[in-house]
Chains A and B, each alone.
Chain A
Amino acid sequence: MTDINDTLETAAHPEKLRRVAIDPVSRVEGHGKVTLLLDEDDRVHQVRLHIVEFRGFEKFIQGRPYWEAPVMVQRLCGICPVSHHLAASKAMDMIVGATLTPTAEKIRRLMHYGQILQSHALHFFHLCSPDLLFGFDSEMARRNIVGIAAAYPEIARQGVLLRKFGQEVIRITAGKRIHGTGSIPGGVNKNVSIEERDYLLKDIEQVVAWSRESVGIARQLFEQNLDLYNNFGRFKAHTLNMVRDDGALDLYHGGLRARDMDGDTLFDHYDYSHYWDVIFEDVKTWSYMKFPFLRSLGPETGWYRVGPLSRVTQCDFISTPQAEQARVEFLAFNGGSASGATLGFHWARMIEMLHAAEVIQDLLHDPDLQGNDLVSKGKRQERGVGVIEAPRGTLIHHYKVDENDQIVRCNLIVSTTHNNQAMNEAIRQVARQYIDGRKLTEGLLNHIEVAIRAFDPCLSCATHALGKMPLEVELLDVEGDRVDVLTRSSDGSFCSWD
């Protein structure tokens, strides 16, 4: 009989390790499984966040016409489909050789910032505020948005309405709140009418004000629990994000900026159309997700963190005044401690939400939104790369299209994949902080979930080639002993336990 630890661990004495599985991770899109491997002294030796779901979009998009990609690939996610819609559209802009008209670019930006607003509101208010406001160990039945509505009715109401406003921005620019078709290769298929603009304008001042208050809530949480928020799952990481030419935070377009964990710049304003020269993807046999790393640092130490925390701390400034003030205060808070904390993600996320509200406000006053020059095209290209800063972090779409207009190759590196190793590291820190001997407590599990949720991962988004995924199906009895196992190797062969 194969020992349970043989297939799980590479430690010198795996027989002395105890396996602890937490599955599924609730309130994270898709499914994840966390494996904690303890050593003989009951210390957390290793952590693995297993991604047990894959979608296969990179494979089944092959053969499809290129103009279908922006609509098809957004089905990767129901929370931030606009990110995929726009990243694919940007890649297809390159395919058709287009330089966007001002109207097309501004409508896409409006769509994207509407997406940032609704996704960040959803994450903070619906998914995380129960943990943050009630405490990580509070009663499970209460830790949801309904519980928030009962205890903090005004906060819950604002969260719901902020998300609704963002969804209305998406509906007007994309045609539907979820999975619209507004962005097409080379531009957009509709402008924003005066009536539509005025419909959004009537609420935008309130949305900006509520977003500003949301930043205040995030700050208060830090102030009230300084030690906890500063140290919870804290770790140092390299960072990757996109910035505008002048170094400003820009979530729609720009160049790539990477800095090491000490803040030294590895590359800056890098043209993402050749991202593969600076980013590479490693593959592990035990996870569905790929492990991207910075080429210059190598696969072992080159992992990095993306998302709101990286973006807000690594940009030179934010172009809208209220969000910029919030950024400066965030960086200065307690000697800069919040900007390196895992729970600093939430504060940074609220700063981005405020920025999104301000950008939407500015765009709504721009007459280009009512323009009729919607689509452009130029010299046809074979390859297209689209990068966008999605709510959860940098999102890369890369396509190759043949002379018959069919997609022949696709590579997607989604935000959660970028954050893969960073999430493992955060969980490891939390597990080491909160594990109590050999006893697993609900509190420990809650803390691990809080660490995962700080990244706002979209686990459903991780993709892997169909048919090449090593899979293991195991059957455990009530004692945790394995009673059966079926394994598929990467060459497609199967072997069973016996």
Chain B
Amino acid sequence: MKETFLLDGSTIPFEPGQTVMQAALAAGHYIPHLCYHPEFKPHGSCKLCTVKINGRTVASCTMPAEAGLQVESGIEELNALRRSLVQMLFAEGNHFCPSCEKSGNCVLQALGYDLEVHATGFRHLYPDRPLDASHPDILLDFNRCILCELCVRASSEVDGKNVFALSGRGITKHLIVNAESGKLSDTNISLTDKAMQVCPVGVILPKRVGFSVPIGERRYDQRPISAQALDDAPRQIHTSGSCSTCEDAP
């Protein structure tokens, strides 16, 4: 018999070592998230996945699952906080969805729709972040960076190239390229790198392919992110008693 905890009243079984987020997704329960990616070690920076456990707020992507936990996620109090976090991300960068080629495939945009963020709500900072178009095949548009560090982790842990890093502190924190010139053209990044595939927003882009997917066929045109996030998670087919995980499960 597996150990379980309660998420919004539902019984969630978990394997030893799983986080609350991992167990929830595996059991088919969505918790909003941005910086979490099932293939990488939890990061806990975006705070979108904040839940309440026994009255205390914690990041569910880093919180180890424990038997008997009483976890609250889908409550208006938390969703209001999540909306504010998404609004602040929109206000902090330069996110111009109408002409962004990531539109329809963007996790931040999809979360905004899912959380019913209808307006930014905060004064825009309009940071000055010039593009890095130096690489012949790859464009960096720093305007859209949300500092999730997925590219940093992918380039370091999977590609073994360490192309990206974060620099600065607080409001001046920003994504940089690990090259003496600071230019992407002076790195060994390539189109097939994992770092090219993990950016949740429109920062790291292959050149000259923008808008090639028509409206209606983009990832989040048909189904909201809350439904699709479960596609990417290792799933437990059976949620009672003996469970198995299957990465191909829908």
Contacts and interface: CB of A to CB of B under 8 A. Distances in A.
Interface of A: 63-65, 67-68, 70-72, 75, 96, 174-176, 179-182, 184-185, 189-190, 375, 404-406
B122 interface: no
Given A189-B212, A406-B131, 20 more contacts: A63-B130, A63-B131, A64-B99, A67-B101, A67-B210, A71-B98, A71-B99, A71-B101, A72-B99, A175-B214, A175-B216, A179-B98, A181-B211, A181-B215, A184-B211, A189-B213, A190-B217, A404-B133, A405-B133, A405-B139
Q: Is the interface of B mostly helix, strand, loop or mixed?
A: loop
28 contacts: A63-B131, A64-B131, A65-B133, A65-B139, A65-B210, A68-B101, A68-B210, A71-B211, A72-B96, A72-B98, A75-B98, A75-B99, A175-B216, A176-B215, A181-B211, A181-B214, A181-B215, A182-B214, A184-B210, A185-B208, A189-B212, A189-B213, A404-B133, A404-B134, A405-B133, A405-B139, A405-B207, A406-B131
A108 B85 CA distance: 41
Interface string B147-185: 000000000000000000000000000000000000000
Contacts of B212: 184, 189, 375
- Shortest beta-carbon contacts, A-B, top 7: A175-B215, A72-B99, A404-B133, A190-B214, A67-B210, A189-B214, A181-B211
Nearest to B131: A63
Interface residues of B, number: 20
Contacts of B216: 175
A174 B211 CA distance: 11
A190 to B, nearest CB: 4
A438 B212 CA distance: 60
Contacts of A405: 133, 139, 207-208
Nearest to B215: A175
B66 to A, nearest CB: 47
A185 B212 CA distance: 9
B211 A406 contact: no
Nearest to A60: B96
Interface in B182-227: 207-217
A147 to B, nearest CB: 33
Nearest to B210: A67
Highest count of chain B CB atoms <10 Å: which of A75, A96, A405:
A405
Given A63-B131, A406-B131, A68 B99 contact: yes
Nearest to A173: B214
A239 B65 CA distance: 75
Contacts of B217: 190
A414 to B, nearest CB: 18
A174 B216 CA distance: 10
Nearest to A377: B208
Interface in B78-118: 96, 98-99, 101
A63 B139 CA distance: 12
Contacts of B99: 64, 68, 71-72, 75
Interface in B122-142: 130-131, 133-134, 139
B95 to A, nearest CB: 14
Nearest to A61: B99
A64 B210 CA distance: 12
Contacts of A181: 211, 214-215
A384 to B, nearest CB: 14
Nearest to A71: B99
A242 B104 CA distance: 36
A176 B104 CA distance: 13
Nearest to B139: A65
Highest count of chain B CB atoms <10 Å: which of A71, A181, A189:
A181
A455 B99 CA distance: 29
Contacts of A375: 212
Highest count of chain A CB atoms <10 Å: which of B130, B134, B139:
B139
Contacts of B134: 404
A180 B215 contact: yes
Contact of A189 (B96, B130, B211): B211
A478 B247 CA distance: 74
Contacts of A404: 133-134
B211 A67 contact: yes
A189 B210 CA distance: 10
Contacts of A406: 131, 133
Contacts of A68: 99, 101, 210
A174 B207 CA distance: 22
Contacts of B215: 174-176, 180-182
A75 B103 CA distance: 15
A425 B96 CA distance: 39
Nearest to A375: B212
Highest count of chain A CB atoms <10 Å: which of B131, B208, B209:
B208
B71 to A, nearest CB: 40
A180 B214 CA distance: 9
Contacts of A189: 211-214
Nearest to A406: B133
A484 to B, nearest CB: 29
A190 B207 CA distance: 20
B199 to A, nearest CB: 16
B162 to A, nearest CB: 24
Contacts of A185: 208
A391 to B, nearest CB: 21
Contacts of B210: 65, 67-68, 184
B54 to A, nearest CB: 47
A471 to B, nearest CB: 21
Contacts of B133: 65, 404-406
B203 to A, nearest CB: 13
